Amino acid sequence: MASFNLFAGKILQIEGGYNDNRDWDENFLNGAFIGTKYGITPATLAHHLRRDITQADMVNLTKATALEIYEKEYWDRYRLSEFDSQDLAEIVADGIIQHGPGGNGDTGGVTMLQQTLNDLGEDLEVDGILGSLTVAATNRQSKINGGLLYNLYRDSRLKYYEWLALQDPRKLSVLPGWKNRINNHFPEKEDGAVIVTASKFPVDRLIEVAVAKYGWGWIIAAAVLLPVTAYAVYQLFFRNEKPAAA
């Protein structure tokens, strides 16, 4: 089962220290500038302390309190200890921390997981609720398509970063940093190229994943070269073969 203690150091390394960027709406609470520290937003800290907070509260936030928040409000709340895969639990936890769970039409760390599981043949409601059905589906697919599930979820997060940057030009400057967050801390798995049946993996999603990984240039080149190569092989080896005598 997945362990928060194995994730604790990673999330502190990812989030860093105090952030005083006044261009970020997340650094304000009720119109007052607070900032963030160790990735803990003003709203999250206020909820944890159950009172209004000041900038001084955020500046003085300790690593121990930040980890307490991450364990209680994210790891335990979303039942990540019930995941069989530590790596998957960590990338999903990071998705929820950065994007929220999602639901009610919003994209988040849980809804991206549920959609990915459905792409692999599950039949979950994409509601942002990480309940028993989602936990069971996650562990089931981890056994069948562990590397693929991880990589597809990873690709979904990278695509969501790009969508967010397109919606808000201010975020274009941090898009490379967002992508580095994934590439540096959640590298792609080598065993992710697992074959699944077309009935369980829609063709449009397969194309989407291929484009995300290789780009349209390689896809088009492959589409052109494959039939050309097949024709050349036919001309070279088979065209002049005579049928065997009866």
- Distance, in Å, from the CA atom of 134 to the CA atom of 75, rounded to the nearest integer, reads 15
Q: CA nearest 61: which of 82, 80, 43, 36?
A: 36
Q: CA nearest 122: which of 162, 98, 153?
A: 153
Cα 46 to its chain centre, rounded Å, is: 27
- Distance, in Å, from the CA atom of 162 to the CA atom of 149, rounded to the nearest integer, reads 20
- Tens-digit pLDDT profile for the chain (246 aa)? 999 999 999 999 999 999 999 988 899 999 999 999 999 999 999 999 999 999 999 999 999 999 999 999 999 999 999 999 999 999 999 999 999 999 989 999 999 999 999 999 999 999 999 999 999 999 999 999 989 999 999 999 999 999 999 998 888 989 999 999 999 999 999 876 543 433 344 445 445 555 555 566 666 766 666 676 665 655 565 555 544 444
- pTM score, two decimals? 0.77
Cα 95 to its chain centre, rounded Å, is: 6
- Distance, in Å, from the CA atom of 116 to the CA atom of 159, rounded to the nearest integer, reads 13
